[in-house]
Amino acid sequence: MEAYDSAKATLGGRLRDNDMLAWAASGLEISGKTVRSWEAAAEYFAASPEVQRQLPSGQFIRWSAVGSRLCADSPSLAVAFFKASPGSLMRLRPRYIEDWANLGRSLYRGTWKSSTLACRYYEVTPELLEQLNFVEFTRFSEFLEALSLRSYDLASQCLNDGVDLFQNLGAERESFIAVARVLADKSWRDVRGYFTASAEALPRVDAVQRGRLLTLIRKLVQLGHGNAGEGVIAGAASLSSVPADRQSRFLELSEQLLSTAPEAVPELLRQMPAIMGRVSFNQFEEWQAEGVTAVRENLDAGLSYFRLESARSQEVLDTLASGIELTRIRDLLRTYCRALVGQSIELSPTSQIVEKNIGWVEGDLPTTEGTTIYLPAVVDRFSSKESNFSWYKVVATHQVGHIEFGSFGFDFARPSTVFEDLRPHIPVPERTRAPADPGVPGVPGAPGAVLDELPAEMQEAAKERGIEGQWLTDMGRFFDAFPDRALSHDIFTVVEDSRLDARLLHEYRGIAAAYHTVQEHSLAERPAIDELPMREAMIEFIVRLSLRQRSGLKVPRDYKKVARQIAHLVDSVATHEAIVEDSAEATLRIYGLLADVPNEEIPPDEFDDIDLDDEDEEDSAPPEDAEQYLKALQGAGDSRADGTGEMPEDETEEQGEEDYESPEDVSYRGDFKPELAQLLSQMQMSAGMMDGEPGEPLTEEQLAEMLERSTEVEGEPQEGEEGDQQAQIPEELIQNLLKELARRDPQDPQSSQGPFVHVDEDGGPLEATDERSFVYDEWDFRGGEYKPRWCLVHEKDMAEGDTTFVQETLHSHASLVRDIHRQFERMVPETFRKIKRLEDGEDHDLDAVIEHFVERRSGIQPTEKLYWQRNKVERDVAVAFLLDMSASTAEAIDETGRSDDDWGAPDDPVEYMVWLRSRRAEGLRRSYKRIVDIEKEGIVLLSNALEMLGDRFGIYGFSGYGRENVEFYIIKEMDEPYTESVPRKIDRIAPLHATRMGPAIRHTTAKLRELDAKSKVLFMITDGRPQDRGYSREGVEKEYAVHDTKQALVEARRDGIVPFCLTVDKAGHDYMKTMMEDMSYEVLHDIKLLPTRLPQLYQKLTQ
């Protein structure tokens, strides 16, 4: 009653008396409705003052009446209603009060849950109304009601979610609710997912497009295609992959597609980001148009088109896309690189060398470590395919140039061709590690006393050996000569790259145009010189110089002369005659010239333009002042010895000097690490030369020391210890590198395993276990190499059955048998028969000669055909039939119109065993035919005819499980006579396990190879794509198996065997196109044609 009193006090002044009475009366009425309605009455009185302020008195009474009615249903409902009223009425037109109350009321169905829902509904109404107009609100309420029919919990959740969700939405709320409404009827379980997805994805979509997207999704849901939540997420992802100004066009296209083939729309939405990753939007439109045609022609084909699963779809994308994927051109480029160098160069995506974690970290820069060329996986730098391919080619050429023109063959002692060598004058620096050889004392530059006693030559040799022993590589020795290793490394890589470019352009003039384009492109990516500190600016100057920029270059004004001298040095190395040692000599000199340049920031106006082609300028030849250059090297080697890791800059250290930073890598030259690469490629070469005598193995310490000195490997910055510049070389990296080195050592037995570890199938090469097992390599198309001794083929003799099958087949196909006989008769060659009456031949044909003379005597024009010749068309054919005995050949053929279920195996294991036993017992009484039966029929008919033809033939079947169990059944060997046992063996051909085609083909090839026949044919009959456990790599099962099979067939062809594949798999064209490429195959659309078609094909093949 407190509420009543306070309300009365407030209302007293505002209401007319009779209204006041009515108010109090309705309060009483409410409180009197049920036992618990006094609560409602209290709320009523509490809310009244607020409500009354907002409502005209007439409405106010109606509000009371509405509340009162609610209370009659449920007091708690009324409580919630009255509680929410003040907030709601602020946003609700008074005339809607009743509707609002009814909407809530309709949620209530007398249960506890529905009451909670309805209460909650009133409770959040003020918040909802803040976001929604009343129409939307009504729709939402209707949706809730519809949903509540299915699940109150879900409806409550949606109600709560809705409150949060609507805050983030704009005008599309109506569409959103519309989708929800449809969902509530069509598939109410998806509602929750839809809400979650929308909350997550919709804000990412441009507000303008949201409504349209939602409408699209609503139509999809209405048509029963796709899941709304997924649709929203996919749609949002699709839209954000499309440029903003094209989004509405994209939706338009999707809407069009919706009218043609609604099923395809979810696929399109799902694939769109992937598509946009490959092509531009305009190109996408073309692709889409093609897809619409595809859908119209055939719905299934069209769907797989939009799923990006059909070959046509991929082809269209490929043609449209300007970007090039490495996988597509890898074989091409690898062969190209091999042609250039004449070595077994491998080609891999850059990610692989990064994964190896042996020092290379840049994932997208091309590089090489001396045997493999690493290229980015995708290139989409230019707008056309041709340009992107050119880029690949230029990069590959440059990288392979490192190998072809000896970047890694640097020899410290080899004289250069352009310069007077300074290297012999480099003082031998003191090293932290005392040399083990007592002949070389640790004193730099001064040979020890022991050496002095030896004859001069030996001294020299010992010294040399001792010195060399200190470094793992000559490259490392060279870089150690510099106090600032990073600087020398940067100079050397740029100069060496520049030398290579010059050499390559000289050797390969055809690539010049593409090369220059790439260089210009790289040049455009370079940072501006005048924004860099001076020393870095000078290095950048060299980089630009090496990219053939000759004018418009800027250099610090004070060092213009130095720049000119440097340019002179770079130019003298950038010739086709220079060798890697010239680059080293140039590095020494440039280093000397740059040693005086402080790395200070200077304002851009202190930079001057320099035009290198201007001949009038002063003489630019650098001074041949060995003293000066060598002086710059002082202090080398001890920089790390003191343990600071910081390069002490001696006297040149000045205020305001920046830390020197290496220049950005030039994108096409990539990440050039001469020292590491030399180490890696040296190992390969030296190990090969050592002839079994193992060299001293590299210790972990040696390697760690080298890496620590080297600036090529970035240590991991120590977290938490900021400011500590010395980075630790991660132990893991050293271990990886050691492994990599060991792998390259051909004496290491592990090396034969190859770098690619099979993911699905671990383990190494296999060994033949008995006389009748054989090992074969397997082709790994990803690595582009064979996995040695990978598969074990077991030869087995087929058991003998009875001859009923063969007899029945011959009997039931009697007319076909006659036809085949007749066909083949025509093929029978007149072997070893003399062909008479030829104009020229081995010898005279006596009959013809007599005739000749008779004719001449009688004055007739005599015949000139007097010779005979042995028939040259000797038919000498050997054919091996290879039958697929995989489990799938057990599939029944729909011959009698039965459905598959009639023979289907029971699911229950026990029943299955029973079923299986009965099926076995059934034996020949089997009422249906399986694929394998048709295969057998074909073979029976053909072999029957072949006997007559006299061709040699073998019949083999294959199956197996796993690489160590490829079963190879011998039904008839090539030279085995066609005896009674052959039909018996044919009878026993039955479906077994999997289909690992590669090894079976290789084994057959080996059999054919031993034969001496003019034409050899490998005739494979199969019912599907190759597959087997672990016949895969990295989950690309299908591809791997198909490629291995293809490789096996290519091998066969290389041995002069004609491979032919006949498949009864109607979908066979997909993979057959890849597998057989330019070899012939046939896809049989109706398996029942096999017995007829087989002899025809045979005839065609062997004629």
835 - beta bridge partners?
869
Our finding on whether 1100 is near another protein (CB under 8 A) is no
What is the amino acid identity at position 592? G
By CB under 8 A, which span of 260-268, 531-539, 837-845, 1018-1026 interacts with another protein?
837-845
C-alpha pair distances (Å), 843 with each of 307, 832, 846, 861: 71, 15, 9, 22
Task: State the Cα–Cα distance between residues 439 and 455, nearest whole angstrom.
Answer: 13
Beta carbon nearer to another protein, 901 or 1012: 1012
Question: What residues numbered 1047-1076 form the site for another protein, per CB under 8 A?
Answer: 1054, 1056
Q: Is there binding between residue 511 and another protein (CB under 8 A)?
A: yes
Least Å distance between CB 567 and another protein? 27
Shortest separation between residue 329's beta carbon and another protein, angstroms: 9
Site for another protein in 872-901 (CB under 8 A): 872
- The residue from 90, 513, 685, 948 that contacts another protein (CB under 8 A) is 513
According to the binding rule CB under 8 A, does residue 844 interact with another protein?
A: yes
Judged by CB under 8 A, which of 38, 336, 774, 915 binds another protein? 336
Q: Which of 342, 424, 643, 977 touches another protein (CB under 8 A)? A: 342
Minimum gap (Å) between residue 984 Cβ and another protein: 33
The answer to whether 1012 contacts another protein (rule: CB under 8 A) is yes
Q: Mask 459-498, x = binds another protein (CB under 8 A)?
A: ----------------------------------------
Task: Calculate helix-pair angle for 326-341, 385-404, nearest 10 degrees.
Answer: 40
CB of 272 to another protein, least distance (A): 32
Interaction residues for another protein, span 191-220 (CB under 8 A): none
| Packing angle, helices 190-201 and 228-241, rounded to 10 | 20
Task: Tell me which of 103, 268, 866, 971 binds another protein, using CB under 8 A.
Answer: 866
In the list 281, 508, 660, 903, the residue contacting another protein (rule: CB under 8 A) is 508
Please tell me the distance from the alpha carbon of residue 339 to that of residue 570, in angstroms, as a whole number: 29
Chain positions 234 to 293 lying near another protein, rule: CB under 8 A, are none
Determine if 341 is a binding residue for another protein (CB under 8 A): yes
Amino acid at 628: Q
Q: Is 835 in the site for another protein (CB under 8 A)?
A: no
Q: How far is the CB of 703 from another protein (least distance, A)?
A: 33
Does position 344 interact with another protein (CB under 8 A)? The reply is yes
Q: State yes or no: residue 512 binds another protein (CB under 8 A).
A: yes
Question: Is the separation of the CB atoms in 1073 and 1039 below 8 Å?
Answer: no
Give 468 or 876: the residue with its C-beta nearer to another protein: 876
- # of chain residues touching another protein (CB under 8 A): 33
Closest alpha carbon to 989 in 886, 1095, 879, 1094? 886
Find the part of the chain contacting another protein (CB under 8 A) among 152-160, 332-340, 526-534, 775-783. 332-340
Which residues, numbered 1077-1096, are part of the site for another protein (CB under 8 A)? 1077-1078
Stretch that binds another protein, among 11-19, 52-60, 333-341, 689-697 (CB under 8 A): 333-341
Please name the amino acid found at residue 277.
G
The tokens for 938 are 């074909």
Tokens representing 207 are 């507000």
Binding mask 845-864 for another protein (x = CB under 8 A): ----x--x------------
User: Nearest distance from residue 1077's CB to another protein, in Å?
Assistant: 8
Nearer to another protein, 732 or 855 (CB): 855
* Calpha distance 539→555 (Å, rounded): 10
Q: Which one of 430-438, 502-510, 612-620, 1082-1090 is the stretch in contact with another protein (CB under 8 A)?
A: 502-510
Order of strands, edge to edge, in the sheet holding 1015-1022? 773-780, 785-797, 966-972, 952-960, 877-884, 1015-1022, 1057-1063, 1080-1083
Return the residue of 130, 185, 206, 507 that touches another protein, per CB under 8 A.
507
β strands within 238-388, DSSP E: 324-325, 346-349, 367-368, 372-375, 378-379
**What letter would DSSP give residue 262?**
T
Least CB distance from residue 1101 to another protein, whole Å?
Answer: 18
Nearer to another protein, 80 or 866 (CB): 866
331 part of the interface to another protein, by CB under 8 A: yes
Pairing assessment for the beta strands 867-870 and 843-844 based on DSSP bridges = antiparallel
Q: What is the sign, positive or negative, of the torsion defined by CA atoms of 977, 981, 987, 992?
A: negative
Conformation bin of residue 393: beta by default, left when phi > 0, alpha when psi is -120 to 50: alpha
- For the four alpha carbons of 916, 920, 926 and 931, in that order, the dihedral sign comes to positive
Nearest CB to another protein, comparing residues 112 and 832: 832
Of 379, 381, 350, whose CA–CA distance to 365 is shortest? 350
397 binds another protein per the rule CB under 8 A: yes
Minimum distance from CB of 367 to another protein (Å)? 20
The DSSP bridge partners found for residue 844 are 867
**Contacting range for another protein; rule: CB under 8 A; set: 127-135, 843-851, 933-941, 1067-1075:** 843-851
Show the tokens assigned to 572. Answer: 């003298």
Distances (CA, A) of 272 to 236, 239, 254, 265: 10, 8, 11, 10
- Closer to another protein by CB, 872 or 925: give it: 872
873 vs 910, beta carbon nearer another protein: 873
Query: Closer CB to another protein, residue 136 or residue 845?
Result: 845
Q: What does the per-residue mask of binding to another protein show for 972-1011, with x meaning CB under 8 A?
A: -------------------------------------x--
Sequence-distant (6+) residues with CB within 8 A of 118 are: 74, 77, 80, 104, 105, 107, 108
- Measured N-to-C along each axis, helices 2-12 and 17-33 cross at an angle, to the nearest 10 degrees, of 160
The window from 243-251, 331-339, 561-569, 652-660 that contacts another protein (CB under 8 A) reads: 331-339
Cα separation, 881 vs 939, whole angstroms: 8
Choose among 1083, 1085, 1038: nearest CA to 1063. 1083
Binding part of the chain for another protein, among 553-561, 619-627, 772-780, 836-844 by CB under 8 A, reads 836-844
Q: Are 806 and 983 in contact (CB under 8 A)?
A: yes
Calpha distance 485→710 (Å, rounded)? 7
Angle between helices 152-168 and 134-150 (to 10 degrees): 150
Minimum distance between the CB of residue 1011 and another protein, rounded to whole angstroms?
9
Name which of 137 and 668 has its Cβ closer to another protein: 668
Q: Which amino acid is at 1027?
A: Q
Distance in Å, CB of 365 to another protein, minimum: 22
Q: Is 842 in the site for another protein (CB under 8 A)?
A: yes
Nearer to another protein by C-beta: 332 or 1101? 332
If one asks whether residue 328 binds another protein (CB under 8 A), the answer comes out as no
What does the alpha-carbon distance between residue 121 and residue 442 come to, in Å, rounded to a whole number?
89
**Closest distance between another protein and the C-beta of residue 501, in Å?**
14
Shortest gap between Cβ of 980 and another protein (angstroms)? 32
Interatomic CA distance for residues 868 and 889, integer angstroms: 53
- Strand 324-325 to strand 378-379: parallel, antiparallel, or no bridges (unpaired)? antiparallel
Beta strands 346-349 and 372-375 are: parallel
Minimum Å distance from CB 1063 to another protein? 23
Interface with another protein (CB under 8 A): 331-333, 335-336, 338-342, 344, 393, 397, 507-513, 842-844, 849, 852, 866, 872, 1009, 1012, 1054, 1056, 1077-1078
